[in-house]
Chains A and B, each alone.
Chain A
Amino acid sequence: MIRFYSALAVLAVSAVLSAPAPAAVPVDERVVHELAAQLRCVVCQTLSVADSPSETANQMRQIIRERLAAGETPEQVRQYFVQRYGEWILLAPPKEGFNLLVWVVPFVGLGAGLVLVVIVLRRWSRNPAAAAPSTPVDPAMRERIRREMSGGGHP
């Protein structure tokens, strides 16, 4: 029975929230901007809702404003969009689960690169000959070069 009533309450709340809500809670425009900056503008993809001049982004900012005015927390507003668009709507993937890879791999790669550079540098400094192996010049060639350099080469 409690479940039923809570479901009913959720329905009532969502019905109220879906409808144009009168501004009840004063809305801080900075919070609106902060939320909009986290959301991808759905028509432009590479811009955030805060940065896009498109009409869609404008409407999304208005929806953010209205939901905050209706008393939702910024996190609830964020979830409202995620539930409808998926995590795709977030410009930065959440730092959890598989997405953690996106956050971790660049640093792991950077670390691995640094380690590699250190290993290679150490190897070169320990054994300079290995870096530029010199081939022995055969004495006959050396003599010929000497003769040609001194100008007394060909008759």
Chain B
Amino acid sequence: MKGGWLRWIIPAAVVPVLVLLAYGFWTNPREIPSPLLGRPAAPFVLTTFDKAPLTLQDLRGKVVLINFWASWCIPACYDEAPALERTWLAYKDKGVMVIGVNVQDTEEPARKFLARFQHSFPNAPDPRGYVAVEYGVYGVPETFFIDRRGRVRFKHVGALTDETARKRLDSLLEEPS
């Protein structure tokens, strides 16, 4: 059986490549682990659409949900918008703050979006994209959950549902402050 090892060379070279490709096809390219989890949430100062200052540092002691959105983000941002308002109404008296950060957008369609969904939680534009970069946002919508001690704990990519919001907020509210 001289040279028998040669016939194994091709499978030995091809199989690992196929396994790697298969693995690549099974992973979601949009799910990129955030290095921010467990780290202090970046402070920011924004001005809401209602011209009120919005400062993350003032919210220490509360569980904060930060949602990055844009009016052109169809359909995901439109899908999650009612869930965000419901979440805010259900949790605003339980020590939770919901904040919307409007990125890569223009004012008029952004205001229309807010009017359409009657969002009553603070929403602020991020005109220079600084806050989005501070949170490593690479698309909209993305939602971050910040614990009472001001650390980023969860990141949700894509449209947020009532269930996900409830699960994350409840687990953070259960933690001792």
Binding site for B on A (CB under 8 A): 15, 18-20, 42-43, 45, 55-56, 59-60, 62-63, 81-86, 88, 109, 116, 120, 123
Binding site for A on B (CB under 8 A): 3, 6, 9, 13, 29, 32-36, 42-45, 104, 128-130, 132-139
> Can you show 8 pairs from A to B with CB atoms below 8 A apart?
A20-B128, A59-B104, A59-B129, A63-B130, A81-B133, A82-B35, A84-B135, A86-B32
- Contacts beyond the supplied A86-B35, A88-B32, A109-B13: 4 A-B pairs with Cβ under 8 Å: A18-B44, A84-B35, A84-B133, A85-B136
Residues of B within 8 A of A18 (CB): 42-44, 130, 134
A68 CB to closest chain B CB (Å) equals: 15
Known interface pairs A18-B43, A18-B134, A63-B133; A86-B128 also in contact (CB < 8 Å): no
A19 CA to B134 CA, complexed, in Å: 12
A56 CA to B44 CA, complexed, in Å: 19
Which B residue's beta carbon lies closest to that of A123? B3
B104 A56 Cβ-Cβ under 8 A: yes
Which A residue's beta carbon lies closest to that of B126? A59
A86 B133 Cβ-Cβ under 8 A: no
Residues of B within 8 A of A60 (CB): 129, 133
A123 CA to B2 CA, complexed, in Å: 11
A59 B134 Cβ-Cβ under 8 A: no
A96 CB to closest chain B CB (Å) equals: 16
A15 B43 Cβ-Cβ under 8 A: yes
A88 CA to B3 CA, complexed, in Å: 43
**Cβ-neighbour of B136 out of A56, A59, A84, A123 (below 8 A):** A84
A63 CA to B133 CA, complexed, in Å: 9
A63 B129 Cβ-Cβ under 8 A: yes
Which A residue's beta carbon lies closest to that of B29? A45
B142 CB to closest chain A CB (Å) equals: 11
A52 CB to closest chain B CB (Å) equals: 12
Residues of B within 8 A of A85 (CB): 32, 35, 136, 138
Residues of B within 8 A of A109 (CB): 13
Residues of B within 8 A of A83 (CB): 35
B104 A84 Cβ-Cβ under 8 A: no
Residues of B within 8 A of A88 (CB): 32
Across the A-B interface, the 6 shortest Cβ-Cβ residue pairs: A59-B129, A42-B138, A84-B136, A86-B35, A85-B136, A88-B32
Residues of A within 8 A of B43 (CB): 15, 18
B130 A84 Cβ-Cβ under 8 A: no
A62 B139 Cβ-Cβ under 8 A: no
Which B residue's beta carbon lies closest to that of A11? B43
A64 CB to closest chain B CB (Å) equals: 10
Residues of A within 8 A of B139 (CB): 42-43
A43 CA to B134 CA, complexed, in Å: 15
